[in-house]
Chain A
């Protein structure tokens, strides 16, 4: 069965710091990869996704993620975070052929001014 690991459970940064959140998955075949964000008091929403093609994908609000197949990773990055990026971030994987989404446990990001 597919599993998704997000190693950073809590991250605290100052504004303008760079961000990288790790996401690793276990299944070695074709995968569809997602990052979702949940702002305080709001519902989960899609940040970015990778299906095929360029392994560096860009999402909303200046976020990007890189798919490295050899490392089974899909890390999320942002060069300069803002206070408004304070949220919970979830990595999700859909393995090719199963169509069953598997989520990581999430990373809580706090950005202080």
Chain B
């Protein structure tokens, strides 16, 4: 079974530029998560999708971050414009279904490491 795919793996941009990340979840997984992991911290949930609908985006800085999951499969996360403090690893994860156990187990992708100069 193929895992969660993410691209690019690394990205370096200057502040005020825009950047987009792509995630392809495990086939058949209804729930998709985007996390931000700053160095030395645990992953922080940015947004959670159930199929192509948003379950929670309370921690997404909506003035600069946006995400979409068209057709309930792939997802993109965009930052526009980027700030220095956005330097982090952006993780995508998927799970078979939102809701009760055992379906809430998440499967993580390799992440995209973003450096904003």
Using a CB–CB cutoff of 8 Å, the interface residues on chain A facing chain B are 4, 6, 32, 34, 36, 42-46, 49, 51-52, 90, 92, 94, 99-106
Contacts and interface: CB of A to CB of B under 8 A. Distances in A.
B45 A99 contact: no
B111 interface: yes
Contacts of B43: 44, 90, 103
A49 B100 CA distance: 13
Interface of B: 3-4, 33, 35, 40-45, 48, 55-56, 91, 93, 98-102, 104-111
Tell me the dominant secondary structure on chain A's binding face. strand
A100 B56 contact: yes
Nearest to A102: B45
A101 B43 CA distance: 9
A90 to B, nearest CB: 5
B108 A45 contact: yes
9 contacts: A4-B42, A42-B110, A44-B93, A45-B107, A51-B101, A52-B101, A99-B98, A101-B106, A103-B44
